[in-house]
Amino acid sequence: MSITKRTFLTLTCAATLAVTPVVSFAQGWEPRRPIDFVIMAGPGGGADQIARFIQSVAERYDLTSRPLVPNNQGGGSGAEALLSVSGTSDPDHTILVTLNSFFTTPLRQANLGIDVQTFTPIAMMGVDPFVLWVHVDSGITSFDQWLETVRGMNGEYVMGGTGTGQEDSIVIAFLSGAYDLDITYIPYDGGGAVARDLAGQQIMATVNNPAEAKGFYEAGDFVPLLAFSDERLPAFPDIPTVRELGHDFSYANQRAVVGAPGMSEEAAEYYRAVFTQVYESEEWQGYLESESLSPLWMNADEQRAYWTTQVEAHRELLAALGQ
Amino acid sequence: MEILGLLFDGVLIALQPLNLVLILVGVTLGLFIGAMPGLGSVNGVAILLPITFLVPPTGAIIFLAAIYYGAMYGGAISSITLGIPGASTAVATTFDGRPLAMQGRASLALVTAAVASFVGGTVANIIFTGFAPLLAGVALSFGPPEIFALMLLAFATFVGLGTDDIPKTIFSICFGLVLGAIGFDQISGAPRLVLFDINGFLQGIGFLVLAIGVYGIGEMLWTIEQTRGEVENTTPKMTAKGMVADTAEATRKGWKGMGIGSLLGFFVGILPAAGATPAALMAYGVAKMTSRRPQNFGRGEVDGIAAPEAANNSASTGSMLPMLTLGIPGSPTTAILLGGMVIWGLTPGPRLFIEETEFVWGLIGSFYVSNVAALLINLAFIPVFIWMLRMPFTILAPVIFVLSVIGGYAATRDMFDIWMILVFGLGAFVLRRLDYPLAPAVLAIVLGPIAEPTLRQSLLLSQGDPTIFFTRPIAGPITVVAIILILLPALKLLRPRKPGRDGAA
Amino acid sequence: MRNGEIGAAGVLALFSLYLMWKSTELPIGFVEGRGPGGGAWPFWLSAIMLLCCGMIALNWWRRTSPPSQSDEPFLDGHGWRMVALVGGSLIGFIALIDVVSMYGAIAVFLVVYLRFLGRHSWALTLVLALAMPIGFFFFFEGAMRITMPSGMSFTDPVFDILYDIIY
């Protein structure tokens, strides 16, 4: 980490940015402090991997004049991160990588006093779909066969997930409601642990993001049965979506970057320009494809509107869950 | 032997000039990061991840693995010289490492730790090389009931850790377990024990907060008060000849601990969710139980340093196994390494061994080379760490306080934790005066958050039937052994006590 | 020491009771078919803690534990003074972090401790009090990328210069 090289790179980068016409952020504002890049999840999970990927891309092209410093605050389904970001003393240098607990945690814990609309929209990097997986040794190859098995087990069918009120439990609750199933649900502390215990057949099925299950799928251990996306996933073209089965339901985890409440408009514009460049990078586009994320690019106003609809949708889903 | 050929190629990859430089730099960085209380391999690996874009993927993971190795060696250094375990894996190292250092034999303690780490790392590497895919299957057969049974076994080793005052020891264990339950209930997702409704408690009490409070503040206050501020300075000397003699003594006295630690460490390390802390603790317990001089443990016994240090290094290598063969992280550090692999365009998982031979064997080769490099670099730096101990106590004490505060903040970046460190420190000082053992609480806060969720997951699996811990083929025997080990001392207690019960406190 | 023993046992018993009460916010019983509720683990462990406090008190009454036999005071005058001075300077140190930044607070703490508690020379005190924060700044912010609290806004100009140096 030689100082001269870094300074040189920063200068080159600044010069490039200054002459590039597409970059439209307000002249003048630049971060003066390392940027607190808060991650709403512990180290290692899907959200963490994505955050570190984004950070690496920003680092590789030296997109920011001060480094993005990843800061895992996974406690309490993201409550810890939401509290610390909304209470920050330096909103211009604090950004948050979110998942759907951005919507669910404030709903489930009203006493935190978090209003997501106070946050500053920056970039929607993509959405991560969910897929229903079983182990290959179960012999189940289709969703109908799965339904039959679950019904035959009289409540002893065991599924794992990341906790009541979490993204996957919402999907499982939907399945139980729509098909009148009785499933025993075991909470784990992360999507990776869930996939592991499916691989070891400690549990019988999971609802995981494709990224978490990919390794086992490619090795032939996992069988996908149903996708909870709007369209069939390009990586699993033979797997039906829940919409095709006649249900008006889809569910995906948002992978978005938001700014702290009270961030100045100049700073927000700066970060939007930075993350637009990350989004358009070859690396990120490749990541979206290899990990089966769907692109869902939005501008700031669209993001705010999206938050409103998501908060409402989650309010209903959680109410249905009895939360 | 096909494996030996692959391994040879792997070592050659690791010995390429660029990779060798990466190993040397990584190990040295890791050593100092690990020696800093509050920082561990997680920090080193996380921070340097983006830098790895500058080199090819094989070089990148070799660099990160070297940091990982260096940090594992470094963890023992603050345990021995400062008395503060810099990571939960190094708590057991303080039990005998600190007393030995206080006796002026810090060099022997540090050399033992280094040699034991090397032995642990090497044994683990050899098992890893020979049986990786086979053992991955074993790791998967450990579900929640098996992990809980293993935690019971770890608790059994607690029995030997306390003082003669049984109620105070049990209090300490339960206190640590309850502290570990603060924050959120993983099973129901509801906030739990948010003491006095202060939001800071929502994130829970981390191991480091309690450990730095107890050892960095409480123990220091106690030493300052006890010695009236006039600590007799031990003046450990360090010569090349002395180091050779220390190495010989460490090997002679510690070979058994190293053996126990290496094997136990590896098998506990490969299990998901268990990790190096229970491994080190169990190795310490087993070494004490099988020793002919159990009464020397806790007073500077070489085996008591060798066992946990061999175990935590062995377990750290072991925890790479589920990551490489299954794509499952065994610890937060391997989780970040796993993220790195995705960034470099590799898919971790069962096919990695087949499809990315050069990468996998380059990495395994680098384990061997890193291990040798870490031993040599560690030994070379021991005089520097010894020199710290020779500072007058009125300088060393404020330096330790500063390290505690800045290291405590670095771990979570939360001022609330700093205040909690102070609260625990002052509380620990009072309890220390009154002969409460505090090490059990510090370990319980690590084991509790593994034991409770696995207990409840198991009962969910069995629809509430507790016989699940006895009827499963792997969990059953472990549970039975653990219960016997826990009950043995309790049975001894029921018999009339012999005179002289107020002996060592 | 004797008074300290029973006093501590009393305070810890009260704390255990508080923990038990707090645990009851979640179900503490065995839920049929699902295992123990969310509050069961901390509740019953706190109950054991309370029981231990009772046994500590019993040992105190029977005078069987070493601290309950000891007639020396929990801390003598010298001990209290020492603890108050060191503890007080630690509290001051931590409180100052939010005002003059982590590095500023370290410098102040080292000056107070080395010069006034340790009675070292001004030369040594100042060298350490300056070298340590600066060294830590480059280690944590430069090498480890961990941002420490920068205190109130009046420290901004200093940090702006420092960050310009390292990035």
Give the tens place of pLDDT for each residue, C84-139: 999 999 999 999 998 999 999 999 999 999 998 888 899 999 999 999 999 999 88
- pLDDT reported for residue C63: 85
Whether B406 and C86 lie within 8 Å, measured CB to CB: no
* Domain(s) of CATH 3.40.190.150: residues in chain A: 13-128+252-320
Give burial (CB, 10 Å; 0-12/13-18/19+) of C68. buried
B184 closest CB neighbour out of A44, A75, A192: A75
Residue B91, pLDDT > 90, answer: no
In sequence order, which residues have a C-beta less than 8 Å from that of residue B22 and are 6 or more positions away?
A: B55, B59, B62, B63, B66
Whether B332 and A84 lie within 8 Å, measured CB to CB: no
Q: Average pLDDT over chain A, rounded to whole?
A: 84
More confident residue, B2 or B433: B433
Q: Which helix (H) or strand (E) is B391 found in, with range?
A: none
A36 closest CB neighbour out of C143, C147, C163: C147
Q: Which helix (H) or strand (E) is B158 found in, with range?
A: none
- Give one DSSP letter per residue of A189-255, joined into a string: SSHHHHHHHHHTTSSSEEEE-HHHHHHHHHTT-EEEEEE-SSS--TT-TTSPBTTTTT-----EEEE
- Residues of A within 8 A of B272 (CB-CB) are 193, 196
Mean pLDDT lowest among A283-292, B126-135, B362-371, B488-497: B488-497
Domain borders along chain B are: 1-492
What does each C-alpha distance from B409 to A14, A78, A265, B247, B418 come to in angstroms? 33, 20, 31, 36, 6
CA distance B18 to chain A (A): 17
pLDDT tier, B234 (very low <50, low <70, confident <90, very high otherwise)? low
B191 closest CB neighbour out of A76, A199, A286: A76
pLDDT tier, C82 (very low <50, low <70, confident <90, very high otherwise)? confident
- pLDDT reported for residue A24: 41
- pLDDT reported for residue B490: 67
- Residues of A within 8 A of C26 (CB-CB) are none
**Nearest to residue B74, comparing CAs of B44, B105, B108?**
B44
What distance in Å separates the CA atoms of residue C41 and residue B100, rounded to the nearest whole number? 38
- pLDDT reported for residue B229: 55
Q: What percent of chain C has pLDDT over 90?
A: 46
A200 touches chain B (CB under 8 A): yes
Whether A34 and C142 lie within 8 Å, measured CB to CB: no
Q: Cβ(A237)–Cβ(A140) under 8 Å? A: no
Whether C143 and A34 lie within 8 Å, measured CB to CB: no
Residue in chain C closest to A5 (alpha carbons) equals: C167
Q: Across the A/B interface, how many CB contacts are shorter than 8 Å?
A: 146
- Residues of A within 8 A of C166 (CB-CB) are 3
- Residues of A within 8 A of B340 (CB-CB) are 52
- Residues of B within 8 A of A49 (CB-CB) are 338-339, 342
Chains near A, with 3+ CB pairs < 8 A? B, C
B202 closest CB neighbour out of A80, A200, A291: A80
- Residues of C within 8 A of B187 (CB-CB) are 38
Whether A34 and C165 lie within 8 Å, measured CB to CB: no
- pLDDT reported for residue A323: 55
Chains near B, with 3+ CB pairs < 8 A? A, C
Residue C71, pLDDT > 60, answer: yes
**Nearest to residue C26, comparing CAs of A76, B187, B450?**
B187
- pLDDT reported for residue B257: 87
**Nearest to residue A240, comparing CAs of A229, A253, A248, A254?**
A229
The contact set of C with A (CB < 8 A) is 141-143, 145-147, 150, 159-160, 163, 165-167
Task: Convert the pLDDT of each residue in A194-213 to its tens digit.
Answer: 888 898 899 999 999 888 88
Residue A26, pLDDT > 50, answer: no
C109 closest CB neighbour out of B192, B398, B455: B398
CA B215, B217, B218, B223 torsion-angle sign: positive
What interface predicted TM-score (ipTM) does this complex get?
0.92
- pLDDT reported for residue A44: 63
Whether B409 and C148 lie within 8 Å, measured CB to CB: yes
Fold classification of A13-128+252-320 is D-Maltodextrin-Binding Protein; domain 2 (3.40.190)
Residue A13, pLDDT > 50, answer: no
Q: What is the arithmetic mean of pLDDT over A233-256? A: 91
- Other CB atoms within 10 A of residue C71 CB: 6
- pLDDT reported for residue A11: 43
Q: Average pLDDT over chain C, rounded to whole?
A: 88
Q: What percent of chain B has pLDDT over 70?
A: 91
Which SS3 state, helix, strand or coil, does residue A316 take?
A: helix
A-interface mutation test, from B140, B458, B465, most A Cβ less than 10 A away: B140
Q: What is the arithmetic mean of pLDDT over A55-80? A: 82
**Nearest to residue B276, comparing CAs of B438, B24, B53, B69?**
B69
Checking phi first, is residue B80 left (phi over 0); if not, alpha (psi -120 to 50) or beta? alpha
Which SS3 state, helix, strand or coil, does residue A156 take?
A: coil
Contacts of range B263-267, beta carbons closer than 8 Å, 24 or more positions apart? B263/B123, B263/B314, B264/B311, B264/B314, B265/B120, B265/B124, B265/B310, B265/B311, B265/B312, B265/B313, B265/B314, B265/B315, B265/B318, B266/B123, B266/B124, B266/B127, B266/B128, B266/B314, B266/B315, B266/B317, B266/B318, B267/B318
A69 closest CB neighbour out of C142, C145, C165: C145
Residue in chain C closest to B225 (alpha carbons) equals: C79
CA distance C157 to chain B (A): 22
- pLDDT reported for residue B273: 67
Mean pLDDT lowest among A103-117, B109-123, B150-164: B150-164
The CB-side HSE value for B423 (13 A sphere, CA atoms) comes to 8
A202 closest CB neighbour out of B144, B347, B349: B144
Whether A69 and C147 lie within 8 Å, measured CB to CB: yes
What distance in Å separates the CA atoms of residue B414 and residue B379, rounded to the nearest whole number? 35
Residue B501, pLDDT > 50, answer: no
Partners of A205 in beta bridges:
A134, A159
What does each C-alpha distance from C126 to A99, C105, C108, C110, C132 come to in angstroms? 49, 14, 10, 9, 10
A35-39 and A94-98 beta bridge pairing? parallel
B461 closest CB neighbour out of A43, A186, A286: A186
CA distance A63 to chain C (A): 13
A9 touches chain C (CB under 8 A): no
More confident residue, B127 or B184: B127
Residue in chain C closest to B32 (alpha carbons) equals: C139
Q: Cβ(A192)–Cβ(A44) under 8 Å? A: yes
Per CATH, the architecture of A130-227 is what?
3-Layer(aba) Sandwich (3.40)
What distance in Å separates the CA atoms of residue B491 and residue B147, rounded to the nearest whole number? 26
Copy the structure tokens of residue B125: 């590497």
* Domain(s) of CATH 3.40.190.10: residues in chain A: 130-227
Q: What is the arithmetic mean of pLDDT over A165-182? A: 88
Residue A10, pLDDT > 60, answer: no
B204 closest CB neighbour out of A56, A75, A77: A75
More confident residue, B4 or A94: A94
- pLDDT reported for residue A15: 42
Partners of A98 in beta bridges:
A256
- pLDDT reported for residue B330: 64
Copy the structure tokens of residue C22: 């707090």
What does each C-alpha distance from A259 to A92, A120, B311, B345 come to in angstroms? 8, 5, 44, 29
Task: Convert the pLDDT of each residue in B10-59 to its tens digit.
Answer: 888 888 888 899 999 999 999 988 888 878 777 777 777 777 767 787 88
More confident residue, B227 or A57: A57
Q: Cβ(B136)–Cβ(B279) under 8 Å? A: no
Per-window interface: A 106-145 vs C, CB < 8 A: none
A-interface mutation test, from C98, C102, C140, C147, most A Cβ less than 10 A away: C147
Q: Average pLDDT over chain B, rounded to whole?
A: 84
A184 closest CB neighbour out of B326, B352, B460: B460
Q: Helix B41-48 vs helix B17-35: angle between axes, to the nearest 10 degrees?
A: 130
> Which of B317-321, B337-341, C163-167 has the highest average model confidence (pLDDT)?
B317-321
- Residues of C within 8 A of B217 (CB-CB) are 90
pLDDT tier, A27 (very low <50, low <70, confident <90, very high otherwise)? low
Residue A45, pLDDT > 80, answer: no
- pLDDT reported for residue B237: 62
**Nearest to residue B262, comparing CAs of B192, B211, B194, B313?**
B313
Virtual torsion, Cα A216, A219, A220, A222, nearest 10 deg = 0
- pLDDT reported for residue B98: 87
Give burial (CB, 10 Å; 0-12/13-18/19+) of C51. middle
Q: What percent of chain B has pLDDT over 90?
A: 21
B-interface mutation test, from A1, A49, A93, most B Cβ less than 10 A away: A49
- pLDDT reported for residue B159: 66
- Residues of B within 8 A of A1 (CB-CB) are 51
Residue in chain C closest to A1 (alpha carbons) equals: C143
Mean pLDDT lowest among A62-76, B45-59, B407-421: B45-59
Residue A1, pLDDT > 50, answer: no
More confident residue, B376 or B502: B376
- pLDDT reported for residue B24: 92
- pLDDT reported for residue B465: 87
Task: Convert the pLDDT of each residue in B285-298 to its tens digit.
Answer: 888 888 888 888 88
Per-window interface: A 272-291 vs B, CB < 8 A: 286-287, 290-291
- pLDDT reported for residue B374: 92
- Other CB atoms within 10 A of residue C161 CB: 9
Virtual torsion, Cα B497, B502, B504, C1, nearest 10 deg = 140
Mean pLDDT lowest among B10-19, B227-236, B323-332, C148-157: B227-236
